[in-house]
Amino acid sequence: MNNILFMMPSYYNFDEVVNAGLTKYSGHKVNYIDTVGNQVYRNNSDRIFNFLSKVFLNNNLKPAMKRKLFISNIKKFEQYQYLIINRPDIIDREVLKFAMDKSETKILLLWDSLEKIPTSPELISLFDVVYSFDSNDCKNYGFEKIENFHFFDDLDINEIKPSYDVVFLGTADGRIENLKKTLGYFKINNIKAKAYIYVPPNKNLKRNVDIEVFTKITPFKDSFKFALNGKVILDLGHKNQTGLSFRVFEAMAFGKKLITDNKHVKAYDFYNENNIFVIDDIDKIQIPDSFWTTPYKTLPANIIDKYHIKNWVKRILNGK
């Protein structure tokens, strides 16, 4: 059994799902390190020492102590077969070098395009393999293409009766205007829709009867429950996004229809116009009645299984 060092920020608790998948399906021991975690001190002595240093010497030792803590955590295993990192740009350079020196195969995961979250060529060149969810970045920079996944096992969705025709889950970001246009279309056409939106403390969102606002983040592993409350899932992409969001794979796993503005979905082996409606123009939405009245066309089991997290893990580690 080999060891995996997995390092990524804990945004929306997405890291928990990936860590669980690596642990369950890789066949290796996994050492996970949250690169934006609040833990800094190894013990109370470190905390007291830094307090005294700040008060009497005007010297905050927290960055050095956090670096020391990360290195100490990496030392859990002597060597690693794989180093898997997301967002290396936020990792202390000394910590990053230490992790790389202890690892044989260095893997970089880019969940966002370089346009959205830039990563320097210098950092990228340190890795043996770079996986990206963005088709344009793969084409332009020679990255390996990777998809998102679903991670649901033994979930009986037939026991859950949807309250809405369409549901959307997202954050208060650049997609809000397109969301409002879409909700407007649904309202005019008597389609019962609900959007669940997380609004960070530094943002405001005008109240809308069709939008339910949350000020506390829903852990990623639980967010799929909102999708179960709709007969159809709505997916709205970020500007210039080419990769498919998790909503697409949730719809597949749950056997639910999907409405999306991501035209790239048409290139995938699971695309079926009976199940997926693609919005060509957000200002001229026209969904045919047949989309709502015809039943979902069940996908072959091997296609659904192909996009399960177990096969995502195999792809990351074995390149296939």
Same domain, residue pair 139 and 193: no
Confidence at residue 41, expressed as pLDDT on a 0 to 100 scale: 53
Domain boundary among 91, 114, 146: 146
Angle at 319 between CA 318 and CA 320, to 5 degrees: 95
- Asked if residue 141 and residue 161 are part of one domain, the reply reads no
Instruction: Give yes or no: residues 121 and 213 share one domain.
Output: no
Whether residue 193 contacts residue 167, with contact meaning beta carbons closer than 8 Å, is answered with yes
317 belongs to a structural domain:
no
The pLDDT assigned to 205 comes to 81
Maximum alpha-carbon separation in the chain: 73
Q: Both 134 and 209 in a single domain?
A: no
Mean pLDDT in residue range 179-199: 96
Work out how many domains the chain is built from and give that number: 2
Mean pLDDT of the chain: 90
Among the listed ranges 17-21, 203-207, 283-287, 296-300, which one has the minimum average pLDDT value? 203-207
| pLDDT (tens digit per residue) in 28-43 | 999 999 998 655 555 5
Q: What is the pLDDT of residue 319?
A: 78
- Nearest 5°: phi and psi at 189? -100, 15
Strands (E), 35-124: 80-86, 103-110
- The mean-pLDDT minimum among 114-118, 119-123, 129-133 falls in 114-118
Residue 291 included in any domain: yes
Which residue carries 């409350």 as its tokens?
229
CATH code where residue 194 lies: 3.40.50
Shared domain for 103 and 55, answered yes or no, is: yes
Examine residue 295 and state whether it is found in any structural domain, yes or no: yes
Cβ count within 10 A of residue 6? 23
Count CB-CB contacts under 10 A for residue 142.
9
Distance CA 268, CA 265 (A): 6
Please state the separation of Cα 80 from the chain's center in Å. 25
* Same domain flag for 200 and 302: yes
Q: Does the pTM exceed 0.85?
A: yes
CB neighbours of 179 closer than 8 A, spacing ≥ 6?
Answer: 168, 170, 195, 197, 211, 236
- The DSSP call for residue 163 is S
Q: Which residues constitute the domain of residue 142?
A: 3-146
85 and 124: one domain?
yes
Nearest by Cα to 35 from 2, 77, 74: 74
135, 167: one domain? no
What pLDDT is attached to residue 43?
Answer: 56
Instruction: Name which of 47-56, 142-151, 240-249 the model is least confident about.
Output: 47-56
Minimum mean pLDDT range among 122-136, 149-163, 211-225: 149-163
Element at 97 (helix H, strand E): helix 93-101
Are residues 175 and 286 both part of a single domain? yes
Tell me whether residue 188 is in a domain.
yes
Of the chain, the percentage scoring pLDDT greater than 70 comes to 89
Residues 80, 117 share a domain: yes
What is the mean predicted confidence (pLDDT) over 278-283? 96
Helix axes of 62-74 and 93-101: crossing angle, nearest 10 degrees: 10
Residue 275 included in any domain: yes
Considering 146, 167, 184, which residue would you say is the last residue of a domain? 146
Query: 155 falls in which pLDDT band (50, 70, 90)?
Result: low
Closest CA to 179 of 133, 149, 213, 150: 213
pLDDT of 202: 78
* Residues 6 or more apart in contact with residue 12 via CB below 8 angstroms: 217, 218, 219, 220, 223
The reply to whether 252 falls in a domain is: yes
Q: How many CA atoms lie within 13 A of 256 on its CB side?
A: 31
Q: Is residue 311 part of a domain?
A: no
Residue 192 lies in a domain: yes
pLDDT score at 266: 97
Average pLDDT over every residue of 161-185: 94
Number of residues assigned to the chain:
320
Kindly report, residue by residue over 67-86, the tens digit of the pLDDT.
Answer: 888 999 999 999 999 999 99
Strand duo 103-110 + 129-132: pairing: parallel
Give the pLDDT confidence score for residue 207 in this predicted structure: 75
The pLDDT of residue 138 is above 60: yes
Check residue 39 and give its pLDDT. Answer: 56
61 vs 165, residue with greater confidence: 165
Same domain, 98 and 76: yes
pLDDT tens readout for residues 214-258: 888 888 888 888 999 999 999 999 887 889 999 999 999 999 999
Both 92 and 171 in one domain: the answer is no
